[in-house]
């Protein structure tokens, strides 16, 4: 089985990745970090620190930044990215994560979110939509700075990097490209 972490590089996503790694180490499971990247949306990428302020949008660079963030925290994690249209809604982004979870038959999803799982969630919450699925268990991580994050990064016995890296010109088999083109 696999533990999936929707990863956008935010402190909560980092915390979720660390928690998933801790669980995976104990349960001898795999970790898969999934990043959803809107095509050509430099503003979105800059807001998430995937690009420097004056850096032009280049998919390969954005994906490489995310991959590096993932492997710095959890070198043994697998990494995948999915592209969506430039102005994809949070619902579309959440759908892509859920599709990946289904495709990989994950057993747990670790969501870093301030509001996922609350009785009342924001309409735009990606985390809330992912947490609503019944195909897998969900761990909601609300603590932005787990005390063990630095220790895990430096002392993990699973430091052997094995993460697969896919560039954007490699098609993602599980995503229907017609849906992504319609949102551009």
pLDDT in tens, 126-156: 555 555 556 656 777 776 655 455 555 555 5
What residues does 140 pair with on adjacent strands?
Answer: 111
CATH of residue 172: 3.40.50.620
**What is the predicted pLDDT for the residue at 135?**
65
- Range of the structural domain that residue 42 is part of: 2-182
What residues does 33 pair with on adjacent strands?
Answer: 5, 79
Q: What angle do CA 64, 1, 27 make, to 5 degrees?
A: 95
Distances (CA, A) of 133 to 106, 108, 109, 172: 12, 11, 10, 22
pLDDT(8) > 50: yes
Counted domains in the chain? 1
Q: In angstroms, rounded to a whole number, what is the distance separating the alpha carbons of residues 44 and 38?
A: 8
Instruction: Tell me whether residue 90 is exposed, middle or buried, using C-beta atoms within 10 angstroms of its C-beta: 0 to 12, 13 to 18, 19 or more.
Output: middle
**What is the predicted pLDDT for the residue at 173?**
45
Residues near 87 by beta carbon (within 8 Å), at least 6 away in sequence: 38, 41, 183, 184
**Token pair belonging to 1:** 């089985």
pLDDT in tens, 66-80: 999 999 999 999 999
């Amino acid at each position: 089985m696999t533990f999936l972490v929707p990863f956008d590089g935010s402190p909560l996503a980092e915390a979720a990745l660390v928690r998933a790694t801790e669980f995976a180490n104990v349960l001898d499971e795999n970790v898969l970090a999934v990043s959803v990247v809107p095509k050509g949306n430099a503003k979105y990428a800059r807001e998430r620190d995937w690009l420097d302020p004056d850096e032009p949008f280049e998919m390969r660079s954005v994906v490489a930044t995310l991959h590096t963030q993932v492997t710095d925290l959890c070198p043994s994690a697998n990494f995948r990215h999915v592209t969506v249209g430039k102005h994809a809604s949070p619902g579309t982004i959440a759908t892509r994560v859920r599709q990946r979870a289904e495709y990989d038959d994950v057993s747990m999803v670790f969501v870093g979110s301030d509001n996922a799982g609350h009785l009342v969630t924001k309409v735009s919450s990606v985390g809330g939509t992912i947490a609503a699925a019944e195909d897998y268990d969900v761990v909601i991580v609300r603590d932005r700075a787990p005390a063990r994050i630095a220790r895990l990064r430096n002392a993990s016995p699973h430091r052997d990097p094995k993460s697969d890296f896919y560039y954007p010109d490699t098609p993602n088999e599980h995503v229907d490209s017609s849906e992504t083109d319609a949102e551009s």
